Amino acid sequence: MIKQTLKEWREEATKRFGKDANNWVFKCPHCGRINTVKEFTEAGADGSSSPYQECIGRYKKGYGCDWAAYGLFGNLGKGRVVVTPEGKEIEVFDFADKEDV
* pLDDT tens string 54-73: 999 998 888 889 999 998 89
Q: Mean pLDDT over residues 13-29, rounded? A: 94
Q: Mean pLDDT over residues 2-22, rounded? A: 95
Residues of the chain with pLDDT > 70: what percent? 96
Compute the half-sphere exposure of residue 59: CA atoms within 13 Å on the CB side of its CA: 20
Q: What is the CA radius of gyration of the chain?
A: 13
* Kind of pairing between the strands at 2-5 and 80-83: parallel
pLDDT of 49: 77
pLDDT of 52: 94
pTM of the model: 0.90
Confidence of residue 43 (pLDDT cuts 50, 70, 90): confident
pLDDT of 101: 66
